[in-house]
């Protein structure tokens, strides 16, 4: 279980997170929704030790605060950034190799190359191609595949469908369903509200650095005023 209590963080001198508390259970997909600037990306970066933060955060009882990013990854947590962050001069297969864990997380499913290529057939066809020449959608698939190669038990995924074609959005949705079946927990930052509501077990809505709603997708669908205040564009 991921447990976060009273998490505060800032970017430069600007406060971004203002006492965020949440939990994610094993095998659960939790969608983290909100407008741009609400603090969602800062939250997942803080959990990965990528920006200064204060408060409490733990995964399966292991403290995350004050740990280096590579130490957090070794605990079985993977992070897929919004900008994908693939290694452009390396091939698709070499990028996947870099995702292999040095230490296997407890009770984690060990993902194989053929399983990742089966999930993303376009990568199988381009495994000897440098990542720099892949399309944006292919790079997103590669970033997700590389994260899977680390055999995570929890994935923090930031805007995986941003700019993708409908076909690739369906591929991402399929992957998330596979992760749920495999017992992998997901904290999903997503702007595509219909997609998030169709996939998530629970929904969190962030606004001005705080959690302003927590509940089921159906409960959020029934909160039209809340959607208008915190989710619709300005």
Q: Structural domain boundaries of the chain?
A: 2-229
Homologous superfamily of 2-229 = P-loop containing nucleotide triphosphate hydrolases (3.40.50.300)
Please write the tens of the pLDDT for every residue from 125-163: 999 999 999 999 999 999 999 999 999 999 999 999 998
The confidence band for 94, taking pLDDT boundaries of 50, 70 and 90, is very high
Beta bridge partners of residue 37, listed in sequence order: none
The confidence band for 234, taking pLDDT boundaries of 50, 70 and 90, is low
Query: Mind giving me the DSSP string for 32-47?
Result: EE--TTSSHHHHHHHH
Beta bridge partners of residue 189, listed in sequence order: 32, 158
131: CB partners within 8 A, 6+ apart: 86, 87, 88, 89, 90, 91, 92, 95, 139, 142
The confidence band for 60, taking pLDDT boundaries of 50, 70 and 90, is very high
Please count the other Cβ atoms lying within 10 Å of the Cβ belonging to residue 110: 11
Q: Residue 105 pLDDT > 70, yes or no? A: no
Interatomic CA distance for residues 141 and 182, integer angstroms? 18
- Torsion angles phi and psi, residue 99, rounded to 5: -80, -10
pTM: 0.93
Give CA 184 to chain center in angstroms: 11
Q: Residue 108 pLDDT > 80, yes or no? A: no
């Amino acid at each position: 279980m991921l447990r976060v209590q009273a998490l505060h963080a800032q970017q430069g001198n600007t406060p971004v997170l203002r006492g965020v508390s949440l939990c994610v259970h094993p095998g659960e997909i939790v969608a983290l929704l909100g407008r741009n600037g609400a603090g969602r990306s800062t939250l997942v970066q803080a959990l990965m030790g990528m920006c200064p933060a204060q408060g409490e955060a733990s995964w399966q009882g292991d403290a995350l605060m004050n740990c280096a990013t590579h130490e957090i990854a070794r605990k079985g947590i993977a992070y897929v950034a919004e900008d994908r962050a693939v290694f452009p001069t390396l091939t698709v297969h070499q990028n996947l190799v870099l995702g292999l864990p040095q230490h296997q997380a407890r009770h984690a499913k060990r993902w194989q190359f053929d399983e990742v290529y089966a999930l993303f057939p376009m990568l199988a066809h381009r495994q000897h191609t440098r990542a720099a020449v892949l399309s944006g959608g292919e790079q997103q698939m590669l970033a997700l595949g590389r994260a899977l190669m680390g055999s995570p038990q929890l994935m923090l995924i930031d805007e995986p469908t941003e700019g993708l074609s409908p076909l690739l959005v369906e591929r991402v949705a399929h992957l998330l369903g596979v992760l749920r079946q495999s017992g992998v927990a997901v904290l999903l930052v997503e702007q595509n509200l219909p997609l998030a509501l169709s996939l998530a077990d629970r929904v969190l809505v962030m606004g001005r650095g705080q959690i302003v709603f927590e509940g089921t997708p159906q409960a959020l669908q029934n909160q039209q005023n809340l959607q208008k205040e915190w989710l619709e564009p300005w």
